[in-house]
Structure 1
Amino acid sequence: MPESAEDVWARIVGASRRAVDGECPECASVTPERIVWEDDSWILSYSDGPAELSTALLLQTREHTRVGQLDDDLATQFGRISNRLVRIIENLPEAEYVDVSRYGAHRGHFHVWFFAPYAQDSKDPVDLHTVATKLANWGGNARA
């Protein structure tokens, strides 16, 4: 039986990350095959979300920082990237809308989740190549 959205949420929110062989757990958990888009300051990766979601994406800084510690340049970049990402996803036929969520601030990197449930008549996942390519139109590198 698949997990409910509530079970997945509880599992993700309750997760803790320990150092892996002395390495930052956030840096260690970024696997190249899950990176959708990146630039010098940011990494956008996908996660396996609950069955109700057409996509679950994680945007995080490369720099070890926390919310409230972003310098003005990073904060401005975050606003632009987030706004563009939401517009891109919400204009795809697979996604109904995008929820933006932040939790787990103790993990060492500023990061925000972007969750999109399926559009009413769709069971197809969001096309990550389209997301990456459109985001790269403003800079950075499409990886998906």
Structure 2
Amino acid sequence: MPESAEEVWARIVGAKRLAFDGQCPECARVVPERIVWEDEYWILSYTDGPADMAAALLLQTRDHTRVGQLDDELASQFGRISNRLVRIIENLPEAAYVDVSRYGAHRGHFHVWYFAPHADGVTTPADLRTIATKLANWGGDARA
């Protein structure tokens, strides 16, 4: 029997991240090879998403903070980066649109997911190099 919405919510929100050798699990899980773009305050990385996704990206703060704790400057940066990232991805031929999601209250870094399903008839992944380069036009460093 499929999970109810309440069961899914409880599983996702209630998930705890275990520490790695006393280190923040989010810091320990940053894989340099998966970083698409970064700057002094933010890291954008990719993950292997479901087969029907052109892109599955995670934007997170470098500092340990949570939603509601961002100072005005970081909150402003997030808004600009997020808006630009969605525009970049939605203009790629591989992506139909972008879903922006935040879940997982117990992670040590503010983070937001960007999921882009494939455009009709497309099965290739989104061009991460294009995403990184275009985002870097406003600052930061392209890594993909």
Relative to the length of structure 1, the TM-score reads: 0.90
Residues 118, 40 of structure 1: alpha-carbon distance in 2 compared, 3 angstrom cutoff:
same
Residue 101 (structure 1) aligns with = 101
Aligned AA for 2:108? Answer: G
Q: Which has the larger radius of gyration?
A: 2
Deviation at 1:17, TM superposition (A): 1.4
Partner of 2:6: none
Offset from partner CA, 1:85-109 (integer Å, 9 cap, x none):
0000000000000000000121110
Residue in 1 that maps onto 2:114: 114
1:119 CA drift (Å): 0.3
How many pairs are equivalent? Answer: 136
Does the C-alpha gap of structure 1 residues 137 and 115 become closer, same or farther in structure 2, counting only changes over 3 Å? same
**1:11 CA displacement:** 8.1
Matched, 1:42 2:42: yes
How far apart in 2 are the matches of 1:126 and 1:15?
Answer: 29
Which residue number corresponds to residue 62 of structure 1? 62
Structure 2 runs not aligned, ≥5 long = 1-8
The answer (yes or no) to whether the contact 1:54–1:94 under 8 Å persists in 2 is yes
CA distance in 1, matches of 2:49, 2:11: 11
Partner of 1:29: 29
TM-score, normalization: structure 2? 0.90
**CA contact under 8 A between 2:46 and 2:58: conserved in structure 1?**
yes
State the percentage of identical aligned residues: 79
- What RMSD, in angstroms, separates the aligned Cα atoms of the two structures? 1.7
Cα deviation, residue 16, structure 1: 3.1
Distance 1:11 1:98 in 2: 24
Q: Where do 5+ consecutive residues of structure 1 fail to align?
A: 1-8
2:106 alignment partner, SS class? helix
C-alpha contact (below 8 Å) 2:90/2:96 kept by paired residues: yes
Judge conservation of contact 2:17–2:106 (CA < 8 Å) in 1.
Answer: no
Q: Could you tell me how far apart the structure 2 residues matched to 1:23 and 1:118 are?
A: 36
Q: Does 1:135 align with 2:135?
A: yes
Distance in 2, Cα, partners of 1:112 & 1:40: 17
